[in-house]
Amino acid sequence: MGILPLYVGLDYHDDSIQVCVMNSEGVELVNRSVPNDVEAVGELIWNYGPPRSVAIEACCGAADFIEQLGRVYEWDVRMAHPGYVSRLKQSPDKTDYDDAGLLADLLRVNYLPEVWIAPEETRQLRRLSRYRQGLADDRKRLKLRLRALLREERLKYTGEGRPWSKPWLAWVKGAPLGEHARWVMDQHLAALQALEEKLKEVEQHMEQATRDDPLTQKLLALPGIGPVTAFVMRAEIGSFHRFRSGKQLSRFCSVTPLNASSGKKQADAGLVRQGNPDLRRTIIEAAHRIGRYDEKWKALKQRLVSRGKANSVAVAAVANRWIRWLYHQVNNENVDSTLIEVAA
């Protein structure tokens, strides 16, 4: 075994993993593919000695693998941001061999763009949250098809109640449609009812999963925050302590303004594009409610609107400042540290 520090880069695939072991001088000791198995990868690495650290790009399945690798061998394991790693490549070509070597080299020079490795509990909550979001997306598409069918039949509702209210649905069920259009409409209504039942079931499961979670309960106590919003934030954000500031958390949630200044030109370009779109949508929707029910944030929204800001801009500003405020509230009350202990 060697006594020099070793650095390992792993290029993850479902069936195989490219393993590159590099010493402190930048010399590749080995760079080859092995089966996607913790023992196979660990055995190859251990032939050259215990590594100082191991890196893998964030992708589907990588978090579970590298957490297991670190637990079995007690190595320092890190996860890299794939977008930033790709920008550091010095060649337009892409091969598993080069990708594994690049990760090992970035570790060696201490320039690896790292991302947080969520614990198993948080990853499980994210799967539940994203399953619920998939059902909600299916419901939205189904509703759009149902409304399109009504427009094709040139039918307009003139009764009381808004679309999707009980009176409106009763009208749809009895609307004078053509023979085949009526059959299609009945299929849509049946599928919509099934989706609604599935959503209720998954939301009940979400509530049970976080019933004793201190961070979720803290969020639920805030004005304008409901069970779904609290659960999505808990699952997608995970630990508030992993952020250095409220601004960093706000950027992670994609509710930070994007600066587009150059030279003497000072301009904004909307919100940052990067981040989790489901989390941003959830927080923006919450900001609409917060701006109505919480006097502090309602006053902020009204001030921005009175200064000529569009309502959407004012809501985005509320979301940005609210999430920064929440960061300090959680950290000051030490709610998140209790959550980490529970998750451990």
Residues of the chain with pLDDT under 50: 1, 337-344
Q: What is the CA radius of gyration of the chain?
A: 25
DSSP assignment string, 149-215: HHHHTT----SSS-TTSHHHHHHHHH----HHHHHHHHHHHHHHHHHHHHHHHHHHHHHHHTTT-HH
Instruction: Give the position of tokens 């948080």.
Output: 122
Q: pLDDT tens, 262-312?
A: 666 666 667 777 778 889 999 999 999 999 988 999 999 999 999 998 999
Return the pLDDT at 337: 45
CATH of 6-115, one of 3.30.420.40, 3.40.1190.20, 3.30.70.3040, 3.40.30.10: 3.30.420.40
Q: In terms of Cα–Cα distance, which of 253, 201, 257 is closest to 229?
A: 253
Q: What pTM does this model have?
A: 0.84
pLDDT at 3: 65
Mean of the per-residue pLDDT values of the chain: 90
Half-sphere exposure of 248 (CA within 13 A, CB side): 9
> What is the β-pairing status of strands 114-115 and 53-57?
unpaired
CB 22 within 8 A of CB 2: no
Alpha carbon 41 to its chain centroid, in Å, reads 29
